[in-house]
Chains A and B, each alone.
Chain A
Amino acid sequence: MLAPNTSVSIRDLTLQFGAVQVLQTLNLDIRDGEFLVLLGSSGCGKSTLLNCIAGLLEPTDGQIFIKGRNVTWLEPSERGIGMVFQSYALYPQMTVRGNLSFGLRNARVPKAEIESRVARAAKVLQIEPLLDRKPAALSGGQRQRVAIGRALVRDVDVFLFDEPLSNLDAKLRADLRVELKRLHHSLDNTMIYVTHDQVEAMTLADRIAIMRNGRIMQLGTPDEIYNRPQNRYVADFIGSPSMNFVEGHLERGTFHGADLQLALDGYRFGAPQVADRPAIIGIRPEHVATGPLVDSAPIRGEVTAELVEPMGSDTLVWAQLAGKPFRIRMDGQARVSPGDRLPIGIDPAKASLFDAKTEERL
């Protein structure tokens, strides 16, 4: 049964293109007013899922509910959704006003009503001076705002964003990201946002769904995804530079890998009893303590810096641990040269342990 505060609900959604399974019996409940980000590398099915929710693609099997209504067989315009595309998809021959009102005119909304709704949306998005311009005369950021406005005027329950910021340059992207977040706070609509950019996902999302091969690998808050990744794929995907992995095996609460031994005191196991088995431990580069912090770390050691990448705000040091490349993220002011011996500290509570075979979190 559907929970009363569910906005979008996806039940056993399956999509096949010939022999290719694009979506595999996918289930997902999105709460009212939630900002959900579908995150994944290209080809993971995230845009396909969004298109299914929009009604632009017909699923092979399964159901889609929006606000408790089964919309599986409804036209896109009947679903109470608005969509913002990566290429903005503004109608080039219409003015901004024409673009904003197109959907309303199709729905035969009275003229006065159209005008007041367009005016309101233009005010919210601060595009009032642009109303009589053609899209060609707008900048990328302005176009994106008009595209959002097109969904805004239609008073929809759910906003769908398909990589809306990917075509913008880095600085503008950061600005619009903040604006989107502000917009979500003031509108309180449900928003589903597809992206391959983990920074966008982490900053915008109430919850993130990480997708791979048409499946959801993990659904959780940015904090859960970052700190307690459910499997090795998610752990590897989130975080930049990505997590360090050391292969070995788990033996009575201690991780053994090559010349490395880590007593996992303070590590929160998923089950009260975890049997000994081959395992992989993951440690984020930014969770490796250096400098004065080393002394307070439960586990201490020393590595040799092999390569140093200064990035201004922080410095990335490449070393080796248990015969594998090991990245350490240090403060930008740290002065390290290749060949330096570097004392490091590790806190098992911040590490992630995975079964070597299933790659699921232990």
Chain B
Amino acid sequence: MAEPATLGTVAAVDAIKERTGGVGYLEGPRGGRPRRVLTAHNVVLYGTLLVIAAYFLLPLWVMLVTSFKTMDEIRQGNIFAPPTEFTIFPWIKAWAQACTGINCDGLSRGFWNSVYILVPSVVVSIAVASVSGYTLANWRFKGSEAIFTILILGAFIPYQVMIYPIAILLGKVGLFGSLWGLVVVHTIFGMPLNVLLFRNYFSSVPEELFKAARVDGAGFWGIFFRIMLPMSLPIFVVSMIIQITGIWNDFLFGVIYTSNERYPMTVQLNNIVNSVQGTKEYNVNMAATLLTGLVPLAVYFASGKLFVRGIAAGAVKG
């Protein structure tokens, strides 16, 4: 910093120094403006946020505490209170012993069914969607825009109207009631959104990169696997999350297109919760519901950051 002596040569500072008796600063504000924490603006803002957060979190809290209570305690009716007598038994019962129809092996059967549905559905639907998106973005052909438009249109048609035609179609090709029938259904319904995501992502990859690879002699699959795939992890994560949560949470297709012993976890959860015989075991129901929701939650927490990055990347360029 400059010494006071050298500052003294500046006329303006000199005048200030005279008035302040050698300090060099005038009275009044200096530096950053102080921030007040408790302003009306902040109170309203954070108050609203807190209320909304509580509104969304309360049901989860109720479910959590209920699932760890005994039935006796639940009957006392104090639904917000934490359990006085902590028990893990409802979770065990929900997983391994709860009865649906004639089977009394809990949700575990449904869990594995869901896994068997989920893995091939996610793999097949993402494989098909990524290659389709890549083709539509980089290998434009006559009518490719029309195909893309039709695909996007598919996203706006309520899928309930297609349930019956698809059931007939699956029956005709002999896939009705089988696991692979459901995989096909999930792949088809996952197409509009996922193709859109992949197409937009691949469109944002510089065209010259694609041209360079062609000059270097890479073909359709060579460019896809060796140039495009290695740089598109974020969008694959986004697509995976969308597909995993969508397929895992699916109830309608599962209950329609599969048969009794292949029901996915969501259908089985419904059968446990809605069973009419005996007393309603709220603690077991809560545990079963939480168990069913664990997979998508885990996926989201594991890859949330990539999800945001991929969504942002896929959003650029229409």
A85-B217 contact given A93-B230, A106-B222, CB 8 Å threshold = no
Q: How large is the interface on B (under 10, 10 to 19, 20 to 34, 35 or more residues)?
A: 10 to 19
Interchain CB contact (< 8 A) of A56 among B214, B216, B222 = B214
**Which residues, 217 to 231 on A, are CB-close (under 8 Å) to B?**
none
Binds A, one of B4-12, B75-83, B203-211, B303-311: B203-211
Q: Which of A225-241 contact B (CB under 8 A)?
A: none
Which residues on the B side are within 8 Å of A55 (C-beta)? 214
Give chain B nearest CB distance to A237 CB in angstroms.
Answer: 26
Q: Are A150 and B216 in contact (CB under 8 A)?
A: yes
- Is the beta-carbon distance between B215 and A54 smaller than 8 angstroms? yes
A274 on the interface (CB 8 Å rule)?
no
CA of A154 to CA of B215, assembled, Å: 10
- Residues in B with CB closer than 8 Å to A162 are 208
Considering the chains assembled together, what is the distance between the CA atoms of A51 and B215 in angstroms?
Answer: 11
Partner of A77, one of B215, B226, B227: B215
CB distance from A79 to the nearest CB of B (A): 9
Tell me if B217 and A92 are in contact (CB < 8 A). Answer: no
Cα distance A77–B220 in the bound complex, in angstroms: 13
**Which residues in A have their C-beta under 8 angstroms from that of B218?**
77, 102, 106
Check if B217 sits within 8 Å of A77, measured CB to CB.
yes
Whether the Cβ atoms of A85 and B231 lie closer than 8 Å is no
Which of A85, A90, A106 lies in contact with B211, CB distance below 8 A? A85
Q: Cβ of A81 and Cβ of B215 under 8 Å apart?
A: yes
Which residues of B are found within 8 Å of A91, using beta-carbon distances? 209, 212-213, 227
Known: A91-B227, A92-B231, A93-B230. A106 touches B217 (CB 8 A): yes
Q: Which residue of A lies closest to B212 (CB)?
A: A89
- CB <8 Å contact, A89 and B214: no
- A77 close to B208 (CB less than 8 A): no
Report chain B residues within 8 Å CB of A178.
none
Instruction: Compute how far the CA of A77 lies from the CA of B222 in the bound complex, rounded to whole angstroms.
Output: 13
Inter-chain residue pair count (beta carbon < 8 A): 58
Residues in A83-137 with C-beta less than 8 Å from chain B: 83, 85-87, 89-93, 102-103, 106-107
Chain A 138-159 interface 0/1 with B at a Cβ cutoff of 8 Å (1 = within): 0000000000001000100000
- B206 to A89, Cβ gap below 8 A? yes
Residues of A within 8 Å of B, CB-based: how many? 25
- Decide if A285 is an interface residue (CB 8 Å cutoff): no
Given A91-B227, A93-B230, A56–B211 Cβ distance below 8 Å? yes
Q: Once the chains bind, are B211 and A83 in contact (CB under 8 Å)?
A: yes
Question: What A residues does B226 contact at CB under 8 A?
Answer: 102
B 229-260 to A, binary, CB cutoff 8 A, 1 in contact else 0 = 01100000000000000000000000000000
Contact A87 B215 (CB under 8 A): no
A76 close to chain B: CB less than 8 A: yes
Chain B contacts for A59, CB-based, 8 A: none
* Contact flag A150-B212 (CB < 8 Å), given A92-B231, A93-B230: yes
Q: A91-B209, A93-B231 are in contact. Are A102 and B215 (CB under 8 A)?
A: no
Q: Which of B262-277 contact A (CB under 8 A)?
A: none
**Residues of B contacting A107 with CB < 8 Å?**
217
- The complex places the Cα of A93 from the Cα of B226 at a distance, in Å, of 9
Chain B residue at minimum C-beta to C-beta distance from A82: B215
Q: Which of A51, A87, A93, A106 contacts B216 (CB 8 A)?
A: A106
**Residues of B close to A89: CB separation below 8 A:** 206, 208-209, 211-212
Give B205's nearest chain A residue, CB to CB: A92
Chain A residue at minimal CB-CB distance from B214:
A76
User: How many Å lie between the Cα of A106 and that of B218 in the bound state?
Assistant: 6
* Residue pair B211, A103 in contact (C-beta under 8 Å): no
Cβ B216 vs Cβ A77 within 8 A:
yes
Give every chain B residue within 8 A of A103 (Cβ-Cβ).
215-217
**Which B residues are CB-close (under 8 A) to A154?**
216
Please indicate the chain B residues that have their CB under 8 angstroms from the CB of A86 in the complex.
208
A90, chain B: closest CB distance, angstroms? 8
Q: A56-B211, A93-B230, A93-B231 are in contact. Are A87 and B206 (CB under 8 A)?
A: yes
List, in ascending order, chain A residues with CB within 8 A of B227's CB.
91
Ordered by A's residue number, 9 sampled pairs between the chains whose C-beta atoms are within 8 Å are A76-B211, A77-B217, A77-B218, A81-B215, A83-B212, A89-B206, A90-B212, A91-B213, A103-B216
Which residues of B approach A to under 8 Å, CB–CB?
A: 206, 208-209, 211-218, 222, 226-227, 230-231
Which residues in A have some Cβ–Cβ distance to B below 8 Å? 51, 54-56, 75-77, 81-83, 85-87, 89-93, 102-103, 106-107, 150, 154, 162
